[in-house]
């Protein structure tokens, strides 16, 4: 572990920058380095379907992913992806969980599995159902072509570091895994390898109420975090898919319904700790908000989809729970009218907390799924927050803008249960 004392902020940041850049340089992210590194790798046999089923041509591990093995998201592994068929190509006969391809004697050396066992004892599994579960898309239309060879459940950054070092040593792919709510096949394991499930790393490490920030492990969900923060009058304002974890949210640079007011993940993460592909640990920034020494490594990692490292600790900016809120809904005959209202509202300086546009197809789906009878036309929902008087004043101003743009059926609610019902009725 290479943590530096909090006092050595600028030194830490520049050394972190160097370490990360060295890592990038030495990995095949840079094409020149890639060919050298690839040629020096031992050949590990890639999968093939012994039943003669037609499969996409898979690249071998050693050619297909970062030599230092910290590749992660399915679909972004291949640097020569352009030469390969897309995994979601409907013309290819994709299959879930090819048992043939997960024969450990072929895919990963037993000595590697033994090494993992020494690190993790029972916190790992070779069980096919578990591997299948982790390798199949939970919320994505992309199809799986393989499953991970092993699923591990680290409990600490130390565990993650040891796992990644072992993977690097045996050139085994790594797929970090959070809530699996991502919708673009991020957590698939086309080359098998090790799925690092972060569900045992859910601790809130430190809450700094006065600084309005919190330090957490990556496996905690945003919903769990908000439950924890509620008694303190604070909350974390990003709300992607229910079940999403903070680590996955960082890795996807996610947004949410409050993005119009609070921004996306890149605006709400202060600092990260990341285990790189060679096992080095990088701390990307200090907690101090007014600090800008060196490269902005935090934002390099945010949105890197598991390809640059495994996030092991996150410092998040928090917000005060609003005193009062109003939820409003209205209908339009065209999407353009609705979009014009959004633009006029933003330009008027009104600080909307949430704004969501649902087209008629989405309303049809909501009616179908939630037993509603909403008019099947473009629909907008807003939330306004602040003091009671302020939130209501903003609502009435937007009501006026809506009527100026041909919007109809403007309704708003303030009662907590009615708000929940209205918002939940729409988004489940």
Ligand X SMILES: Cc1cc2nc3c(=O)[nH]c(=O)nc-3n(C[C@H](O)[C@H](O)[C@H](O)COP(=O)(O)OP(=O)(O)OC[C@H]3O[C@@H](n4cnc5c(N)ncnc54)[C@H](O)[C@@H]3O)c2cc1C
Binding residues vs ligand X (CB under 6 A): 72-73, 139, 175-183, 186-187, 198, 218, 240-241, 244-245, 247-249, 251-252, 254-256, 305-306, 310-311
C-beta closer to ligand X: residue 255 or 394: 255
Return the structure tokens found at 424: 């939940």
Query: Phi and psi at residue 214, in whole multiples of 5°?
Result: -145, 145
C-beta closer to ligand X: residue 251 or 318: 251
Least distance in Å: CB of 164 to ligand X? 11
C-beta closer to ligand X: residue 280 or 305: 305
Least distance in Å: CB of 273 to ligand X? 10
C-beta closer to ligand X: residue 71 or 401: 71
Return the structure tokens found at 251: 């890795």
Please state the length of the chain. Answer: 428
Least distance in Å: CB of 218 to ligand X? 4
Least distance in Å: CB of 359 to ligand X? 16
Q: Are 221 and 327 in contact (CB under 8 A)?
A: no
Q: Are 230 and 209 in contact (CB under 8 A)?
A: no
Least distance in Å: CB of 263 to ligand X? 12
Distance in angstroms (rounded) separating the CA atoms of residues 182 and 198:
15
Least distance in Å: CB of 163 to ligand X? 12
Least distance in Å: CB of 113 to ligand X? 21
Least distance in Å: CB of 244 to ligand X? 3
C-beta closer to ligand X: residue 108 or 238: 238
3-state secondary structure the chain: CCCCCCCCHHHHHHHHHHHHHHHHHHCCCCHHHHHHHHHCCCCCCCCCCCCCCCCCCCCCHHHHCCCCCCCCCCCCCCCCHHHCCCCCCCCCCCCCCCHHHHCHHHHCCHHHHHHHHHHHCCCEECCHHHHHHHHCCCCCCCCCCCCCCEEECCCCHHHHHHHHHHHHHHCCCEEEECCCCCCCCCCCCCCCCEEEECCCCCCEEEEECCCCEEEECCCCEHHHHHHHHHHHCEECCCCCCCCCEHHHHHHHCCCCCCHHHHCCHHHHEEEEEEECCCCCEEECCCCCCCCCCCCCHHHHHCCCCCCCCEEEEEEEECEECCCEEEEEEEECCCHHHHHHHHHHHHHCCCCEEEEEEECHHHHHHHHHHHCCCCCCCCEEEEEEEECHHHHHHHHHHHHHHHHHCCCEEEEEECCHHHHHHHHHHHHC
Residue in the shown chain whose Cβ atom is closest to ligand X: 248
C-beta closer to ligand X: residue 222 or 412: 222
C-beta closer to ligand X: residue 73 or 345: 73
Least distance in Å: CB of 177 to ligand X? 5
C-beta closer to ligand X: residue 233 or 242: 242
C-beta closer to ligand X: residue 182 or 395: 182
C-beta closer to ligand X: residue 165 or 397: 165
Q: Are 147 and 136 in contact (CB under 8 A)?
A: yes
Least distance in Å: CB of 188 to ligand X? 9
Tokens 């993650």, residue?
A: 160
């Amino acid at each position: 572990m290479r943590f530096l004392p909090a006092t050595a902020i600028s030194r830490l940041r520049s050394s972190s920058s160097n370490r990360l850049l060295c890592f990038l340089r030495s990995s095949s992210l840079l094409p020149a380095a890639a060919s050298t590194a690839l040629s020096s790798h031992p050949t590990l046999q890639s999968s093939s379907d012994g039943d003669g089923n037609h499969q996409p041509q898979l690249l071998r591990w050693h050619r297909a992913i970062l030599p230092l093995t910290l590749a992660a998201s399915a679909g972004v592994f291949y640097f020569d992806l352009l030469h390969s068929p897309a995994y979601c190509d409907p013309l290819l006969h994709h299959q879930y969980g090819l048992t043939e391809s997960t024969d450990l004697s072929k895919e990963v050396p037993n000595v590697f599995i033994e090494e993992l066992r020494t690190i993790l004892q029972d916190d790992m599994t070779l069980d096919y159902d578990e591997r299948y579960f982790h390798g199949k898309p939970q919320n994505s239309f992309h199809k799986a072509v393989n499953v991970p060879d092993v699923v591990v459940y680290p409990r600490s950054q130390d565990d993650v570091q040891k796992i990644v070092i072992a993977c690097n040593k045996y050139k085994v792919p790594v797929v970090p895994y959070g809530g699996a709510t991502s919708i673009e096949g991020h957590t698939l394991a086309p080359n098998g390898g090790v799925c690092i499930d972060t569900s045992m790393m859910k601790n809130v490490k430190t809450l700094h109420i006065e600084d309005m920030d919190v330090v957490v492990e990556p496996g905690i969900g945003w919903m769990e975090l908000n439950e924890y923060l509620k008694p303190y009058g604070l909350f974390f304002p990003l709300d992607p898919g229910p079940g999403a974890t903070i680590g996955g949210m960082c890795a996807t640079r996610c947004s949410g319904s409050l993005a119009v007011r609070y921004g996306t993940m890149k605006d709400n993460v202060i600092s990260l700790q990341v285990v790189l592909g060679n096992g080095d640990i990088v701390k990307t920034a200090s907690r101090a908000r007014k600090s800008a020494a060196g490269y902005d490594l935090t934002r390099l990692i945010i949105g890197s989809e598991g390809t640059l490292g495994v996030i092991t600790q996150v410092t998040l900016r928090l917000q005060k729970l609003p005193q009062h809120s109003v939820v409003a809904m209205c209908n339009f005959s065209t999407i353009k009218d609705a979009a014009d209202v959004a633009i006029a509202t933003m330009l008027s300086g009104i600080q909307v907390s949430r704004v969501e546009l649902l087209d008629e197809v989405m309303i049809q789906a909501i009616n179908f799924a939630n037993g509603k009878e909403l008019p099947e036309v473009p629909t907008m929902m807003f939330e306004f927050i602040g003091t009671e008087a302020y939130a209501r004043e903003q609502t009435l101003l937007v009501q006026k803008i809506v009527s100026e743009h041909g919007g109809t059926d403007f309704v708003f609610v303030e009662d907590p249960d009615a708000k929940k019902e209205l918002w939940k009725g729409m988004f489940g």
